[in-house]
């Protein structure tokens, strides 16, 4: 059986092309969408991620407002920066790159963010709004900012014509960033969803039941070939940097032998996250002109 590679780079470029078209239309009406990136400290990986977001933002014809802050910044000073960006008319979307230094409370930072400028789609008010909706169609039509990585997974499945309704989905991982919201999105799209995690009993047996298997547990090569149902769609959200290189949460080499479709790492879900971030931002700018 030949496995289909779900190309996140190609899918993300389609999303970004739409973002650029919408951004240009807004600029023609006198409003250029702006994304603020807040980076605290000197974490090398965070610098790379923020740099990618700035580059894609500028390529789409959007304004990039970068706010580098020292690792020693106090909680109050960081909150003051967020309040300032909330008031900045150039800014329609704000992201605070995680993780933050240990002395800072990320949840408190998220709560002071203006929900209308929530480019990451992680503010509780936005999460609460779309999770109350019955169908995925309603969620998309609502215009609520969605968590970028889970929404990117849903868009990647859509572009590859992978059916979700009436299928069994297993999400391995229960984080508020990926696992929980993605499970709710799949449920809204009429999948039957199981959420599993590292402490789930007989995890391998549960994974083998999945038509769509999502690995978002943060452990390199955690999901083995033997855990995958033949022909299943495997979505690897993991991004684990090790001494041997960059690996996902799935043993990709083995999984290719049994999966019907699979996302690579890198080049799978990662590019979709950035694309949906910019889509959230241009959508927020469009709302200002309604």
Nearest 5°: the CA angle 235, 180, 174 is 80
Q: Is 97 a catalytic residue?
A: yes
> What pLDDT, on a 0 to 100 scale, did the predictor assign at position 245?
85
Low-confidence ranges of the chain (pLDDT < 70): 1
Per-residue confidence (pLDDT) for residue 119, from 0 to 100 = 97
Q: What is the pLDDT of residue 241?
A: 86
What is the C-alpha end-to-end distance of the chain, expressed in Å? 50
- The fold adopted by the segment(s) 147-270 is Rossmann fold (3.40.50)
* Cα torsion angle, 100, 102, 103, 105, sign: positive
What pLDDT, on a 0 to 100 scale, did the predictor assign at position 244? 85
pLDDT of residue 246: 87
For the chain, the structural domain boundaries read 30-114, 147-270
What is the CATH number assigned to the segment(s) 30-114?
3.40.50.10860
Q: Which of 97, 127, 256, 279 is catalytic?
A: 97
Asked whether 55 and 35 are in contact (CB, 8 A), the reply is: no
Residue 81's pLDDT is 97
- Hey, do 30-114 and 147-270 end up sharing a CATH topology, with the first three levels equal? yes
Is there a contact between 168 and 209 (Cβ–Cβ < 8 Å)?
yes
Task: List Cα–Cα distances, 174 to 40, 178, 215, 218, in angstroms.
Answer: 26, 7, 10, 11
Which residue among 120, 236, 249, 251 is the active-site one? Answer: 120
Q: Tell me what pLDDT residue 290 has.
A: 76
Is there a catalytic annotation at residue 209?
A: no
Q: Enter the pTM of the model.
A: 0.95
pLDDT at 95 (0 to 100): 96
Contacts of 20 (CB under 8 A, 6+ apart): 59, 60, 61
Q: Please give the pLDDT value at position 2.
A: 87
For residue 79, the surrounding DSSP H or E stretch is helix 75-87
* pLDDT at residue 1, as a whole number: 59
Q: Is 251 a catalytic residue?
A: no
Q: Which two tokens stand for residue 157?
A: 């499945």
How much is the pLDDT for 168?
A: 98
């Amino acid at each position: 059986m030949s496995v289909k590679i779900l190309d996140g780079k190609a899918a993300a470029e389609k999303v970004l092309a739409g973002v650029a078209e919408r951004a240009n239309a807004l600029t023609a009406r006198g409003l250029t969408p702006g994304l603020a990136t807040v980076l605290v400290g000197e974490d090398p990986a965070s610098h790379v991620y923020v740099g990618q977001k700035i580059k894609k933002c500028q390529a789409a014809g959007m304004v990039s407002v970068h706010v580098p802050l020292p690792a020693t910044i106090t909680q109050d000073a960081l909150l003051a920066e967020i309040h300032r960006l909330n008031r900045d008319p150039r800014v329609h979307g704000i992201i605070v790159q995680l993780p933050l230094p240990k002395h800072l409370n990320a949840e408190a930072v998220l709560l002071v963010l203006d929900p209308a400028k929530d480019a990451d789609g992680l503010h509780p008010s936005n999460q609460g709004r779309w999770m109350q909706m019955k169908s995925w169609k309603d969620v998309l039509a609502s215009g609520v900012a969605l968590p970028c990585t889970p929404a990117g997974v849903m868009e990647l499945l859509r572009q590859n014509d992978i059916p979700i309704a009436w299928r069994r989905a297993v999400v391995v991982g229960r984080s508020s960033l990926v696992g929980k919201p993605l499970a709710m999105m799949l449920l809204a799209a009429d999948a039957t969803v199981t959420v599993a995690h590292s402490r789930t009993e007989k995890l391998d047996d549960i994974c083998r039941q999945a038509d769509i298997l999502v690995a978002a547990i943060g452990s390199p090569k955690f999901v083995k070939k033997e855990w995958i149902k033949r022909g299943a769609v495997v979505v690897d959200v993991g991004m684990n940097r090790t001494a041997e290189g960059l690996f996902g949460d799935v043993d990709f080499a083995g999984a290719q032998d049994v999966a019907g479709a699979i996302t690579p790492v890198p080049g799978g879900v990662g590019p979709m996250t950035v694309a949906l971030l910019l889509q959230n931002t241009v959508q927020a700018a469009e709302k200002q002109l309604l």
